[in-house]
Structure 1
Amino acid sequence: MTNDLYAVVGHPISHSKSPRIHSLFACQTGEALEYTAIQAPLDGFEATVAQFFERGGGGLNVTVPFKEQAWQMAQRRTERAQKAGAANTLYLDEDGRLTADNTDGQGLVSDLCGNHGVELAGANILVLGAGGAVRGVLAPLLAAKPAALTIANRTLAKAEALLALFAPDAGATRLSACGFDAPDRPYDLIINGTSASLQGDLPPLSPSVIDNRTVVYDMMYAASETTFNQWARERGAQQTIDGLGMLVEQAAESFRVWRGIKPVTAPVIAELRD
């Protein structure tokens, strides 16, 4: 019997933890699958996807820089992919249509609430950045019914555009947009959706956004503490969390979409930390 084929597609891709994560999921659940990494040419993503499914592939994860392209080429999009404007999960539906999904936002919320006990309902949240990473997580964050959510970005117009896009999803949540230098009071939760800390940079935030009750979440992760989390910890944040758990949780949600079974994530996160 041959194993079902799955893969992650990106450029570059050699650093990806996804093959290890999904191999651990397969061992845990007893699912017979093989998961590899594919580096697609920058001008050859669509051909790579087509060839994969023509070979009988079961599903693809998509990472930088192809998430928007995956969304555009899909013949069908789930509601959460539609809102995110990008896809990190592809599969063929029962009619053979290429279907785009986005599990990033579910991954973030699962990590925050399930793994770290963060209460989103009624929280006052500051989200940093207005790019694709932030757009992909806003709908699940708003579904958790925070009291208020502020999007801060270097370019105010981009933050305001996201605000307008997600206003219909806000419900009773107060939405606002501003530049990085505007927030001047403590928040319950600050989510860094910029990639600045990977370069050792920081958004120009006032330290007054943090007090001893603030939880800080950097969607990036690295072998050592991210620059943003170090900055927050040194200013007295109650808790700092990196994005490794989000990576595992979004993978688990993709696995569920493909296989109909949700892996247990805690042992996988622990193994990756080691």
Structure 2
Amino acid sequence: MDRYAVIGQPISHSKSPSIHALFAQQTGQDLGYEAIEVAPASLAAELQRLHGEGLRGSNVTLPHKQAVAKLCESVSDRAQLAGAVNTLVRTDSGWTGDNTDGEGFVTDLARLGITLTGRRVLVLGAGGATRGILAPILEARPAQLVVSNRNPWKPEELAELFKPVGVVTPRTHLALKGDRYDVVINATSAGHTGGLPLLPGRLIADGGDCYDLSYGDASVPFRQWARSQGASHIEDGLGMLVEQAASSFAIWRGVRPETAPVLKELRRLMRGHGECEAVGTHQPVRRSHVELPPQD
């Protein structure tokens, strides 16, 4: 049986094993898929060990996406542009890397009816998750794309890196004061520790959309903030997770599974296990005042 995995830290919350088990069942593929906790200090050694054990491929999640890119023999053009890898494919002597995050992201936005073209877009965070989605956002031709971070250096680095694709405006979180955005995307990992970056005032324009790349409990702080801002459309990243996984599966196995039934089953499983589920809303929501920890 061919073995695959997802590596990250923490990893116990990962839905990837369930997703790929459903993909395998749907497509009649015989494979195994597991979640493996890997500390940053042991990443290179673990990749070598997994290669030696015959692992055929792996997904990569926080906090390893950028570090893994530097450990690959080669990377795809989109992974090279992003400087981040979320999909590893075994070669005879090592690993080649790809990044399916952007593909999964725009596919899920299309499913949800969230458009980027001609709109003012804000991305919170400037790490590996952001790197994976910037190119497809720019290709959608927004009216403005702002990347915000607690410090200015990472957004400035991304603005320079993605200059061949389009204009990225770097900001610190506090420098957003007075701005209004039609789409706000949370690409920070702060929700995994129950927090949210410290953000100034109201940032969402009337009728604005909010999308969190996280899902489940990790998406709660951003969802609460979006509601307090009066967002019209609030979504979590479970659909993106399924879509990017389907693209990884297609790279490994040569067939792309259907994602709608898998996403539906994941939602059902999350409800059955009593997990928080960030179901999107398309109607206006009542504002409330929520104070959240200032994390980034």
TM-score, normalization: structure 2?
A: 0.83
- Does 2:107 correspond to 1:127? no
In 2 relative to 1, CA 53–200 (structure 1 residues): closer, same or farther, beyond 3 Å? closer
Unaligned runs of 5+ in 1: none
Deviates more, 1:196-205 or 1:25-34: 196-205
Q: Which amino acid aligns with 1:150?
A: V
Q: Which amino acid aligns with 2:255?
A: I
Is the Cα–Cα contact under 8 Å of residues 182 and 206 in structure 2 kept in the other structure?
no
Equivalent positions of 1:53-202 (< 5 A) are: 53-93=51-91, 98-113=95-110, 115-170=111-166, 174-183=167-176, 184-202=178-196
Q: Which amino acid aligns with 2:99?
A: N
Correspondence for 1:226: 220
Deviates more, 1:232-241 or 1:11-20: 11-20
Shift of 1:225: 5.4
Correspondence for 2:250: 256
Unaligned runs of 5+ in 2: 269-296
CA RMSD in angstroms comes to 2.1
Identity among equivalent positions (%) equals 48
Is the Cα–Cα contact under 8 Å of residues 186 and 214 in structure 1 kept in the other structure?
no
Correspondence for 2:19: 21
- Does 2:209 correspond to 1:215? yes
Deviates more, 1:184-193 or 1:201-210: 201-210
Q: Which amino acid aligns with 2:29?
A: E
**Separation (CA, whole Å) in 1 of partners of 2:105 and 2:56:** 24
After TM superposition, the runs of 4+ consecutive aligned structure 1 residues lying more than 4 A away are: none
Shift of 1:242: 1.1
Q: Secondary structure at the match of 2:169?
A: strand
In 2 relative to 1, CA 251–151 (structure 1 residues): closer, same or farther, beyond 3 Å? same
Q: Secondary structure at the match of 2:4?
A: strand
Q: Which amino acid aligns with 2:174?
A: D
Is the Cα–Cα contact under 8 Å of residues 192 and 217 in structure 1 kept in the other structure?
yes
Correspondence for 1:44: 42
TM-score, normalization: structure 1?
A: 0.89
Shift of 1:240: 0.6
Is the Cα–Cα contact under 8 Å of residues 126 and 190 in structure 1 kept in the other structure?
yes
Is the Cα–Cα contact under 8 Å of residues 101 and 133 in structure 2 kept in the other structure?
yes
Is the Cα–Cα contact under 8 Å of residues 220 and 226 in structure 1 kept in the other structure?
no
